A and B are shown apart, each in its own frame.
Chain A
Amino acid sequence: MSFTTFPRKSATFDDYTLSEIRRAAATGLYDIRGGGSKRKLPHLDDLLFLGASISRYPLEGYREKCGTGVVLGSRFAKKPVELKIPVTIAGMSFGSLSAEAKEALGRGASAMGTSTTTGDGGMTPEERGHSSILVYQYLPSRYGMNPDDLRKADAIEVVVGQGAKPGGGGMLLGQKISKRVAGMRCLPEGIDQRSACRHPDWTGPDDLEIKIEELREITDWEKPIYVKVGAARPYYDTALAVKSGADVVVLDGMQGGTAATQEVFIEHVGIPLLSAIRPAVQALQDLGLHRKVQLVVSGGIRNGADVAKCLALGADAVSIGTAALVALGDNDPALEAEYNKLGTTAGAYDDWHEGRDPAGITTQDPALAARLDPVLAGRRLANYLAVLTLEAQTIARACGKSHVHNLEPEDLVALTVEAAAMARVPLAGTDWIPGRGTY
């Protein structure tokens, strides 16, 4: 008697894993890609809001006001940043992105009264010109760093780490090193450019404190100083950033994107945003500085519910990167045929380092970049930012809040035990917060 059994593939060695092993064996190098983590991780979706019923009193949608403004950098800076909405654009470099994409980000953010952020490559005149509020990143590489641009900025963000790669440096492959990009970075055209993983002239929080003081001295104590960390040890990193004098702490969860780094890094280093916010808030509360040193969080923000959840957990604002690129037109299904030619599909394209982006966003190819209309793309981003804000307001009103910052952990429950433990809110239908009181 013979039997035909159904072929069964290994759950451990699935098709993707097998293809990665074959690719590694053929090339001898790890996979480098852009974007953020692609595997399913604990996320804000595992939280739910408790809309008002009897114990809480809701506000009327579209009638009763719900504030969205936020002031960042009120601790020491003479000129804090005032945003109309609690959603900012994360740091993304000229070099990684085309000049057209950077312009579109500036146009969209400015239309909504919020900020954009430079990246590993310096500040371009186009970016400064189109961003009404611009945060200048002070990165380990110090590519293009100069005091004139520091003074032109509205805030300075000392980048210690990034959510997609805490502890890792950047890598911009030669395909995208145009003459202009190379010139801004003082490096030869066409070579693979490494960005350092650590700052060259300070080694710890005591040094960082002095470094921040120097930046304040150079800019006459006018600009807010943000410190950005990749989420890994959020309690201690937040506390040390505060100790070092940060006006604002930017906390980037592991779902955050990157221009190009090792796949294994993106997927296996750092912790999800869901698990990072409460320890960071706890650090600020323990220091008596919650809402005085502002907390901006990022890493996988997609909709107004995500925004509202982050604020409810204690953040003052959120930052978006990948979502902003999608709003501009990244991975648009209308370009499916062109993505197919690159061996991928719309929604999965992540070889941003190759510079062949058919959407004209993550490229330095002039012909490709010219495809992106900065005015239209900027409008799309403004629309998206408006929707994020409206959605967050809608939820806040339903929870009885007249400002999105009045959202609080008590407005949330968790769907899973894991999410309840990470976000420190009760499991839905219970008053159980796993691990409460142990941090």
Chain B
Amino acid sequence: MTAKVIDLATARVRDLNAALHADKAHRHWKVLNPAGLHSIAAGVDAPVTVEVDGHVGYYCAGMNQHASITVNGNAGVGLAENMMSGRVHVKGDASQAAGATAQGGTLVIDGNASARCGISMKGVDILVKGNVGHMSAFMAQAGSLVVLGDAGEALGDSIYEARLFVRGTVASLGADCIEKEMGEAHKAQLFARLKAAGLDGTVDVSDFRRYGSARTLYHFHVDNVGAY
């Protein structure tokens, strides 16, 4: 099936999203001239592919379900926020809060992600080929964050059960986040994430260190007062 093309130089984002929501039978979509507009391909709920040629603004692919959305450019704040399933792939860099609160699916960022990448993530698998900014995976509940580059300060602050894998340096760990042993099960999980991003055979899982929750803040106690 040929791709249905929507040119945002002439159409509105509303026209694009209305079409994506209404026409679930058409499987391939191409979006031209996104020009940093917000909410591009937000709320898609179908196993379609959407290719965006250019840079997108805030909340691209927000709450995506089932769709595979590729951005041939950079993405603004809140990329794939609260994604439920499917896959979002950004070929450039992503701004703050990429994958925020996302409950499922896969988010791949070829470049760098800014602050708070994976904040409050709830099951999504995020892979960043570059670096992530400070406070990434803050209050991360579930899922995985794989960073091939470096992580900024306070990585995993107040983390719950999400798993973090970083190949480069970590500026500092946040409250209740500790380095953990990389067991075989963890290596297998990491390998699966790398494979899903097309990086199997090119990146060695042994290069990564794993971080997660010390679980010391799971219950409030006066002895932890310095961490609150």
Contacts and interface: CB of A to CB of B under 8 A. Distances in A.
Nearest to B84: A146
A365 interface: no
B58 A214 contact: yes
A201 B141 contact: no
B106 interface: no
A435 to B, nearest CB: 40
The binding surface of chain B is classed by DSSP as loop
Counting from the closest, the 10 A-B pairs by CB-CB distance are A28-B222, A218-B43, A201-B97, A142-B101, A201-B78, A201-B100, A191-B218, A186-B122, A214-B59, A147-B63
B82 A145 contact: yes
A192 B120 contact: no
Contacts of A213: 38-39
Given A142-B122, A146-B103, A218 B38 contact: no
27 contacts: A28-B221, A28-B225, A142-B120, A142-B122, A145-B101, A146-B82, A147-B82, A148-B65, A187-B161, A191-B218, A191-B219, A192-B219, A194-B158, A200-B116, A200-B139, A201-B97, A201-B101, A201-B119, A207-B58, A207-B77, A211-B78, A213-B38, A214-B62, A217-B39, A218-B42, A218-B62, A220-B21
Interface string A161-196: 000000000000110000000000111100110101
Contacts of B42: 214, 217-218
Contacts of B17: 217-218, 220
Given A145-B82, A200-B116, A186 B142 contact: yes
Interface in A212-233: 213-214, 217-221
Nearest to B57: A210
Interface string A134-156: 00000001100111101000000
Interface of B: 13-14, 17-18, 21, 38-39, 42-43, 45, 57-59, 62-63, 65, 77-78, 81-82, 84, 96-97, 100-101, 103, 116, 119-120, 122-123, 138-139, 141-142, 158, 160-161, 218-223, 225
Nearest to B79: A201
A126 B13 CA distance: 35
A236 interface: no
Interface of A: 27-29, 141-142, 145-148, 150, 173-174, 185-188, 191-192, 194, 196, 200-202, 207, 210-211, 213-214, 217-221
B78 A186 contact: no
Contacts of B81: 201, 214
Nearest to B41: A217
A213 B37 CA distance: 11
